[in-house]
Amino acid sequence: MKSFFNLKQIRHLICALATMGLMLNASADSQYHVVLDTTKLIGSGWLDLQFNPGQAGATSAFADLTHLSSKYPFGDSPILTGLVTGDLSNKAVFSNQSAYNDLFQALNFGQVISFDLRFSGAFLNTPGSFGTSFGLSLYGADQQSLLGNPDPVSGSLLTFELMPAANAGQFGKVTPLVFDNAMLSVSAVPEPAEWLLLLAGFAVLAAFTQVRRGCID
C-alpha cells in the first residue's frame, strides 16, 4: 500500500509544529476560567480584586476580566482604585503600572459566580526581575472581615503570580494558586491558535500511522 507521506516529510511536519508551538508560547496571552462558589455564605458582602506589581518598575502586564456569570445583578458600581477601568458586567481591565490597583464590588452571596481572566503584556516576552500578582478576596458586609480560608499573608482566596523571564529568549509565565479549594476552582482556557496546533498534531499523528501501515504492507 502506497502512503501519501514519507518519514522525511513527517519529520519536517513535526519540526514545523514545534516551531509554531514556540511562536505561540512567545506571543499568546494566558487565559483562565474561574469559578467562585458562595452558596455556603449568607447575606451580602464584597468581592475584592487586586492587580499589583511586586515592585516599582515591574514589566508591564494587563488583566482583562470578561464573561462574568452571576445569578444576581450587581446593584452598585464598583469602587475603582488605580489603573482599573470598566466593570464586572461587561469588561474590567487592570494594569500593573500603578502601585495599587483595585476593584471592590458589592455582591449577594448564595450563588456561583464564574468569569474569564486573560493576562497579557510585555511580561510574556520581555525579561524582568519583578513580578505582578492578581488576587481575589471576599469580605463580609462590614468590608473588613475576610471570608473563606484565605492565604494568611495576602488575605487572598486565589492569586495568579505573573513572572517575566529572567533571560532573553525565555518566556514569562502565569502561576495560579488556590488557597480555598472548596470555594474556588481554576482551569486554563486554550487559545484558538492552540486548538489549531492541537488539531495539526492529530493530523500528523494520523499521517504517521498511515506511513507505518504502508511500510508494513
**Each residue of 105-147: pLDDT tens digit?**
999 999 999 999 999 999 999 999 999 999 999 999 999 999 9
pLDDT over 70 (residue 209): no
Q: Are 18 and 195 in contact (CB under 8 A)?
A: no
Mean pLDDT score, 173-187: 97
Chain-wide mean pLDDT for the chain? 83
Question: Are 121 and 27 in contact, with CB atoms under 8 Å apart?
Answer: no
- pLDDT of 174 > 90? The answer is yes
Please give the average per-residue pLDDT across 142-164, as a whole number: 97
The answer to whether 123 touches 162, Cβ cutoff 8 Å, is yes
| Residue 112 to residue 137: CA distance in whole angstroms | 15
Q: Which are the contacts of 129, defined by CB distance < 8 A and separation ≥ 6?
A: 164, 166
pLDDT at 175: 96
Alpha-carbon gap, residue 115 to 100, rounded angstroms: 22
pTM here? 0.77
Kindly tell me if the per-residue pLDDT of 10 is higher than 70.
no
Mean pLDDT of 164-189: 94
**In the chain, at which residue ranges do the beta strands (DSSP E only) sit?**
30-37, 44-53, 62-69, 79-81, 84-86, 92-95, 102-108, 112-120, 132-139, 158-163, 173-178, 184-188
pLDDT 10s digits, 38-94? 999 999 999 999 999 998 889 999 999 999 999 887 878 999 999 999 999 899 999
What local confidence, expressed as pLDDT, does residue 17 receive? Answer: 46
| CA distances from residue 44 to 1, 49, 55, 113, 190 in whole angstroms, order as listed | 69, 17, 34, 14, 34
Is the pLDDT score of 11 beyond 80?
Answer: no
Q: Which residue has the higher pLDDT, 14 or 140?
A: 140
